[in-house]
């Protein structure tokens, strides 16, 4: 009897070991890219954390080295995934409709009050296509995604307000946090939160906020940057085992992310309600007016379906507007700070920009988009900043919408595809001396901008290209050139230069908050 018991236990143990081995070595397809084993609950995600928990895109690069493969296959929790560390293959993924899906991540769901899939960044299917078409077409009418005199005038007004604040100091109570009245040092990136968001706000609600009323934009911007810093570019543990939020609400990041999204959404909802209170179906003043018209003409009256499919509903209006408002609130200001750190690190660059600006624009007015073609070096600086310090290092993940192939591998339907944008922007075969800050790489022998030399894709490409690319490029050009035209940059005493090691990678790459003095050139 004892012998039978021992044999049974040994057989059971052997079976468990066999099952554990099969689980760990399971591959989603017979010809799947090589990668780390699968662990319970989290899949291969812990290996990324172990390699570099602060910068997962760098951990992904390490995996490519370890497995000697440009494509790395692994599980992210229960989801099969492929990390692409190759320029040509990333471009292929971005252009092929086979990979136009988005993963269903809890980090995206927690943005909605009822944890439903809403907005644009993390949705797909017919609902996404219909809503995306309406949002882009309607916002285009109000100046988004195209060269718009109104939008450019709004940015110019914002820049005049910003320059006044930086040069003359705070004029309103909320500005005292932005610029120290005693020392003149500005808090970055917070000081830039209203610059771009106020432009999009006019498109959404029909009016931009005056300088005295912009405090709300800075408060929402704080929540927005907290979300960007609090997440990570692979969805966090929360996305793979959502129930962990009940056990560790703070440690899992859930409490912070949920709270900052609630605050931001509450502001968007209050703005929408204010617009609706004076709604006139014969006077479409702004995007929200147009969306409310669709809600009122529909059958649901804007009430949520309670499902992941969605139409013209108030919850989609809130998350959709947030998707267009959040990048101008904090992502573009974060990119500004990444570029400013490079300019401080390379003081010869802003001086060369200033000489070009003085020759072309002078000092009596701010640069405009009409000056852009005559400012090739300034434009090259912006492009080099976007390449070298890719704002979204791993892009926003795609999903294979059907069984397909990629680079000779079999990719099953539902596989998450992570495009390592930062990796390909530092790929030696594509960019010579890729780790150096060298704006001249985008200029020809005559010193003119050569767009064919810029192979970077910081905003993605294809149908999933960032809808705000043109807005961001235009805004960064106008802001950086205006700041260089009017100021030199001075760090606090005793700080020799930017400490790039303090940068963090969350949903986007960010600098820590830092103080910078904008010293007037006049």
Binding residues for heme: 466
Query: CB 17: neighbour CB atoms within 10 A?
Result: 10
Contact 231, 253 (CB under 8 A): yes
Phi, psi dihedral angles at 228 (to 5 degrees) = -60, -35
Binding residue positions: 466
What is the DSSP secondary structure assignment for residue 38, as one 8-state letter? P
**464, 398 contact by CB (below 8 A):** yes
- For residue 311 the two structure tokens come to 């139409």
- Tell me the H-state helices in 206-252: 215-230, 236-240, 244-247
Q: Torsions phi, psi of 168, nearest 5?
A: -105, -10
Instruction: Give the count of beta carbons closer than 10 Å to the beta carbon of residue 301.
Output: 10
User: What are 71's strand-pairing partners?
Assistant: 84
Distance from C-alpha of 229 to C-alpha of 251, rounded to nearest angstrom: 15
First to last CA, the chain: 96
Q: According to the 3-state scheme, what is the secondary structure of 52-66?
A: HCCCHHHHHHHHHHH
Question: What are the b/e assignments for 491-503, b being 16+ CB within 10 Å?
Answer: beeeeeebeeeeb
């Amino acid at each position: 009897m004892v012998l039978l018991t021992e044999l049974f236990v040994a057989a059971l143990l052997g079976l468990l070991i066999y099952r554990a081995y099969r689980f760990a070595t399971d591959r989603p397809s017979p010809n799947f890219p090589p990668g780390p084993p699968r662990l319970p609950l989290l899949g291969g995600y812990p290996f990324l954390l172990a390699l570099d928990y602060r910068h997962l895109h760098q951990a992904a690069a390490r995996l490519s080295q370890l497995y000697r493969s440009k494509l790395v296959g692994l599980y992210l929790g229960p989801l099969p995934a492929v990390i692409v560390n190759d320029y040509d293959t990333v471009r292929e993924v971005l252009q092929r409709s086979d990979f136009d899906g988005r993963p269903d991540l809890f980090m995206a769901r927690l943005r909605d009050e009822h944890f439903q899939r809403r907005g644009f960044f993390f949705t797909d299917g017919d609902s996404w296509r219909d809503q995306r078409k309406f949002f882009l077409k309607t916002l285009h009418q109000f100046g988004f995604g195209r060269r718009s005199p109104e939008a450019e005038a709004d940015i110019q007004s914002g820049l005049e307000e910003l320059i006044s604040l930086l040069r003359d100091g705070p004029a309103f109570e909320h500005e005292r946090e932005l610029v120290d009245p005693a020392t003149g040092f500005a808090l970055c990136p917070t000081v830039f939160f209203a610059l771009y968001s106020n432009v999009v706000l006019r498109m959404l609600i029909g009016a931009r906020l005056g300088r005295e009323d912009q405090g709300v934009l800075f408060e929402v911007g704080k929540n927005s940057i907290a979300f960007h810093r609090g997440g990570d570019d692979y969805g966090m543990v929360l996305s793979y085992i959502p129930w962990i939020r009940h056990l560790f609400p703070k440690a899992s990041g859930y409490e912070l992310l949920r709270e900052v999204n609630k605050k931001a959404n509450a502001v968007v909802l209050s703005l929408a309600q204010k617009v609706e209170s004076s709604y006139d179906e014969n006077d479409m003043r702004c995007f929200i007016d147009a969306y409310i018209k669709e809600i009122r003409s529909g059958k649901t009256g804007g009430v949520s379906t309670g499902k992941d499919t969605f139409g013209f509903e108030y919850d989609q209006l809130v998350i959709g507007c947030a998707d267009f408002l959040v990048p101008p609130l904090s992502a573009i200001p974060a990119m500004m700070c990444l570029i400013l750190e490079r300019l401080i690190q390379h003081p010869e660059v802003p001086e060369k920009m200033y000489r070009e600006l003085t020759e072309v624009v002078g000092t009596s007015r701010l640069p405009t988009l009409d000056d852009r073609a005559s400012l090739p070096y300034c434009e090259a600086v912006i492009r080099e900043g976007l390449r070298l310090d890719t704002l979204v290092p791993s892009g926003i993940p795609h999903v294979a919408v059907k069984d397909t192939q990629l680079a000779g591998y079999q990719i099953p339907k539902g596989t998450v595809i992570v495009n390592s944008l930062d990796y390909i922007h530092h790929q030696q075969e594509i960019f010579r001396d890729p780790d150096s800050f060298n704006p001249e790489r985008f200029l020809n022998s005559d010193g003119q901008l050569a767009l064919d030399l810029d192979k970077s894709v910081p905003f993605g490409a294809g149908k999933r290209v960032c809808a705000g690319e043109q807005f961001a490029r235009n805004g960064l050009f106008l802001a950086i050139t205006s700041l260089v035209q009017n100021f030199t940059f001075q760090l606090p005493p005793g700080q020799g230069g930017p400490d790039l090691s303090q940068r963090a990678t969350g949903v986007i790459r960010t600098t820590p908050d830092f103080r910078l003095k904008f010293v007037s050139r006049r």
